[in-house]
Amino acid sequence: MSIKRFFSALLFFLFSYSAYSQTQPTNFAAKFEYDLKLSVDANKRAAYLKKNNEQPSAYEKVFTVLTGTVQVANIVDDVKFTQNSYQITSIGNLIAGLSTALGGQRLVRESIGTISASGLLSSVYQEKRGNTDLLISRYEPPKKSITFFKASFRNPINSTTLEGQLIDLVNVGYQFIGRPLPTKPITYQVSDARSVKRYTLIPAEVWEFPIDGKKIKATRFYKTTSKEDTNTFEIWFSEGKNFPIRSVIGLSEQYGATIQVDLKKLPNL
């Protein structure tokens, strides 16, 4: 397990969907601010390293001093819809202490694509996690092809055939703004700029969250797991506006960590 992969997994986060008669609102623009909290099971991680005869990375030594659930980063998503297209820029900054310890690294992601009756369709998704290389995926539906790049579009890594609709790790949280939430399980093809995975989300119970002095009701969705994909994923969408209120990712035993992202306040619209 490399240092880059461990750090990327700890910063991996956030926020998946189906066709309805309604479409997303046009000329929508808002900023969504989130707190990212992390809990680390140091014993589980140590057991995994021992079993695989691996040594902990420098990043792990920073995170293993954490006890309980601790805020480690702030995230701001700049979301813009026009009539037929969208752009979402997401920037995650570590809080002061961790930023100093890890050299001011941050997570920068961007999703660009089109808006259809079935939601936000990803054309280009790119992300840069800390000191790792910029990774990009570009989907061209007419060619039924998705290509992955490293550093720039001049450096393709691989490509594969892909039919249907594609979303990504940034636009998943904003699929239902202006559209009703699904009431049945839904499956999506999701790009993480490295590969495409299939996520099936299942609607569950309604929770209440205190935000801006109000009690906001939100419906929980959770991802199915398998032997090949043991990571858990949950996301809550607010009633009415269908904003992403909370998301939780439970990383597998090799990381022993849980990431929770909470909306700090309702955006000004």
Mean pLDDT of 240-265: 88
Q: Which domain holds residue 36?
A: 3-178+248-260
pLDDT at 83: 86
Residue written as token pair 């986060």:
13
pLDDT at 106: 86
Residue-by-residue DSSP string for 174-188: GTTTTSPPPSS-EEE
pLDDT > 70: what percent of the chain?
79
Q: H-helix or E-strand containing 222? A: strand 214-223
Residue written as token pair 């992969």:
5
pLDDT at 10: 43
Q: Is the pLDDT of residue 9 over 50?
A: no
Give dist(CA 59, CA 224) in Å, integer: 29
193 domain-assigned: no
231 domain-assigned: no
Q: Is the pLDDT of residue 175 over 80?
A: yes
Report the b/e string of 106-126 with b at 16+ CB within 10 A: bbebbbbbebeeebbbbbbbb
Number of domains in the chain: 1
Contact between 77 and 71 (Cβ < 8 Å): no
Residue-by-residue DSSP string for 86-102: EEEEEEEEE-HHHHHHT
- Which residues is 56 bridged to in the sheet? none
pLDDT at 1: 45
241-252 confidence digits (pLDDT tens): 999 999 999 887
pLDDT at 11: 44
145 compared with 5, residue with greater pLDDT:
145
Contact between 217 and 227 (Cβ < 8 Å): no
- Which residues is 217 bridged to in the sheet? 208
> Where is mean pLDDT largest: 39-48, 150-159, 246-255?
150-159
What is the distance between the terminal CA atoms of the chain, rounded to a whole angstrom?
43
